[in-house]
Amino acid sequence: MLEMRDELAVTAPLAGAPKWTSEAAWSLYRLPFNDLLFEAQSIHRRQFDPNRVQLSKLLNIKTGGCPEDCGYCSQSSHHSTGLAASKLMDVEKVVAEARKARDGGATRYCMGAAWRNPKPRDMDAIVEMVGAVKALGLETCMTLGMLDRDQSDRLGAAGLDYYNHNIDTSERYYPQVTSTRTFADRLDTLENVRQSGMKVCCGGILGMGEEETDRVEMLVTLANLAEPPESVPINMLIPIAGTPLAEAAPIAPIEFVRIVALARIMMPKSYVRLSAGRSAMTDEMQALCFFAGANSIFVGDTLLTAGNPEDEADRKLFKRLGLQPI
């Protein structure tokens, strides 16, 4: 592997360098597949137990009716997906679901609402949810759309551990996915979250018609934040009837694994999460992703409004691979 190490020494950022360049990231991405995975696994082992995977559970606390027009989303009011809008779930119901998730082995609990941004009338209930779920001993995460600084300060003061706000894709390709908010809007929310003392959960979606370079550029943006996200979800598009991306061509499995590996190399201390799309992945593809450095998954048979592998399927896969929950 000496030849590969020499190549990496040339293409990767020098120690102390503040930023990843597009050229350095692309050079890594285009390494021979075995070399890329070897490097990613080597880095992964220096930061994490390679046979432990974090189990997270995601609950949709408010479904549908979102005014954003994200082309992949079944919950947008712009798309005819047949999904009815709901009110914000009662705190007691959220806590009951969180307790079941904890008892099922989850250590991280994520709550998502289909909003452009939270309304003032909802903030008290949201804050109450954070405190009640944390009291169960779970790590907490929320995704509620854009946040201004006052909103992020309230969530931070309530003890929210993570806030999820994905950038989805590269800045170049972003206007092809969403027109109701800008790429800069996404980054502003991430900065508010960071300034309020919370950890950042931010990743993207692969298979929306973007080019390979867009996927690499997405990771360059994330790795070059003042502090890289502590959690990086990598989603594979689930095409949903009635959305503009319903007919999008699926991403090739090897290309998906390459991005997981690159995320691990560029953000070595972050949790890299296999998120949406696992139901369409073979066991072998998931195994490659774990080898490439993915160490977190969502469990449960539903992921917001889309399907997800059932718990029994995950237990069987973990047993076959010798993996244990964190």
Q: Which residues are catalytic, by number? A: 66, 70, 73, 110, 141, 201, 273
| DSSP letter for each residue of 223-257 | HTSSS--SEEEEEE----TTSTTTTPPPPPHHHHH
Tokens of 11: 């293409």
The secondary structure of residue 89, as a DSSP letter, is P
**Tally of CB atoms within 10 A around 269:** 10
170 and 209 Cβ atoms separated by less than 8 Å: no
Cα separation, 165 vs 148, whole angstroms: 13
Cα separation, 262 vs 155, whole angstroms: 31
**Tally of CB atoms within 10 A around 213:** 16
Q: Are strands 204-206 and 162-164 parallel, antiparallel or unpaired?
A: unpaired
12 and 24 Cβ atoms separated by less than 8 Å: yes
Q: Report the b/e string of 118-139 with b at 16+ CB within 10 A.
A: beeebbeebbebbebbbeeebb
